[in-house]
């Protein structure tokens, strides 16, 4: 599995690349905004991106900012021409750049198709369903980025859970527990119906609401979203690579690796979390405390 760093912070990229565990980088306008704000705007964007590209031993995703296919295509060509001499540029295209559900619905697919023909690699972003991933692959995407963490957020939001109040952004979403709770709720509602018939139960609104709780149209978590995309791609032998994105914690990384996802893109703090374990730290303390002078002297002579 390849590991990309999901950041536009030069220092993080420099450090992680020096450790030899990073195969690429993904950026987006929000990550670039953070990097610019941290430097109080005193940053030449072009030079900064060139620096990132020079440091990374693999693909660096840069996102377009328009919503119309023709504009996204011309931005993609500009980014590709400007930065390709410095590294491996991949262009991020939103799967559906609509902001109202009506306009620009098909522009993402149009841009992916044309960029494929122009030989410019794409990473299709903001993927929230396997259906979107299927269309992206058919249009010729090189990579798709399903947003695992945001799907987990969405499922929790639908249940009335609020980020920060009920759960932290980096918390693992225990969808197996959620499934058990949802099944139990459904069982109790069905039990409360004295007069049970299959037809009556199937059209009962309270029962239907309970059956629809804890998942997004059959997607039970961000990990489940990636699992379903991988199954579809394997069924039809699509060569589009899957980047598990919007990753929030180390356990998600493990579950993505168990699925056999091609790539995970992680924030810097997840890299640290992947290394830490209480017993490893405790074990280090014991080893250091047990060093005898005779053994220490080997290194001093």
Q: C-beta of 243: minimal distance to ligand E4P in Å?
A: 7
Q: Which of 244, 216, 240 is nearest to 129 (CA)?
A: 216
Look up tokens 């249009």; give the residue.
Answer: 139
Q: C-beta of 26: minimal distance to ligand E4P in Å?
A: 4
First-to-last alpha carbon distance for the chain, in angstroms, is 42
Binding site for ligand E4P (CB under 6 A): 6, 26, 28, 125, 145, 147, 149-150, 245-246, 265
241 given a catalytic annotation: no
Residue (17 or 28) nearer to ligand E4P, CB = 28
Residue (76 or 211) nearer to ligand E4P, CB = 76
Residue (221 or 246) nearer to ligand E4P, CB = 246
DSSP H or E segment with residue 6: strand 2-6
Please state, as a whole number, how many other Cβ atoms lie within 10 Å of the Cβ of residue 39. 11
Strand duo 241-244 + 122-127: pairing: unpaired
Q: C-beta of 265: minimal distance to ligand E4P in Å?
A: 5
Q: Which of 77, 92, 169, 228 is catalytic?
A: 92
Q: Rounded to an integer, what distance in angstroms lies between the CA atom of residue 215 and that of residue 211?
A: 9
Q: C-beta of 5: minimal distance to ligand E4P in Å?
A: 10
Spatial contact of 121 and 140, defined as CB atoms under 8 Å apart: no
Residue (130 or 211) nearer to ligand E4P, CB = 130
Catalytic residue numbers?
A: 92
């Amino acid at each position: 599995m390849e590991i990309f760093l999901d950041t536009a912070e030069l220092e993080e990229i420099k450090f992680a690349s020096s450790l030899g565990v990073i195969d690429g980088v993904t950026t987006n306008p929000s990550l670039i905004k953070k990097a610019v704000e941290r430097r109080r705007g005193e940053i030449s964007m072009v030079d900064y991106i060139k620096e990132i590209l020079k440091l990374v031993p693999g693909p660096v995703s840069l996102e377009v900012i328009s919503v119309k296919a023709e504009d996204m295509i011309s931005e993609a060509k500009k980014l590709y021409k400007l930065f390709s001499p410095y590294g491996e540029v991949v262009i991020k295209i939103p799967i559906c750049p609509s902001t109202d559900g009506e306009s620009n619905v098909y522009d993402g697919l149009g841009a992916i198709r044309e960029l494929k023909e122009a030989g410019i690699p794409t990473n299709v972003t903001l993927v929230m369903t396997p259906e979107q991933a299927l269309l992206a692959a058919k249009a010729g995407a090189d990579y798709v980025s399903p947003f695992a963490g945001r799907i987990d957020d969405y499922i929790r939001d639908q249940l009335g859970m609020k980020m920060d109040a009920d759960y932290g952004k980096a918390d693992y979403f225990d969808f197996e527990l959620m499934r058990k709770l949802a099944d139990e709720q459904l069982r109790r509602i069905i039990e409360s119906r004295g007069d049970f018939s299959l037809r009556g139960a199937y059209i009962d609104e309270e029962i239907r609401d309970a059956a629809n709780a804890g998942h997004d149209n059959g997607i039970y978590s961000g990990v489940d979203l990636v699992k379903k995309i991988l199954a579809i791609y394997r069924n039809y032998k699509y060569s589009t690579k899957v980047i598990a994105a919007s990753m929030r914690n180390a356990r998600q990384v493990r579950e993505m690796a168990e699925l056999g996802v091609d790539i995970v893109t992680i924030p810097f703090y997840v890299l640290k979390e992947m290394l830490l374990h209480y017993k490893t730290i405790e074990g280090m303390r014991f080893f250091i405390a047990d060093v005898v002078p005779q053994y220490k002297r080997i290194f001093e002579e």
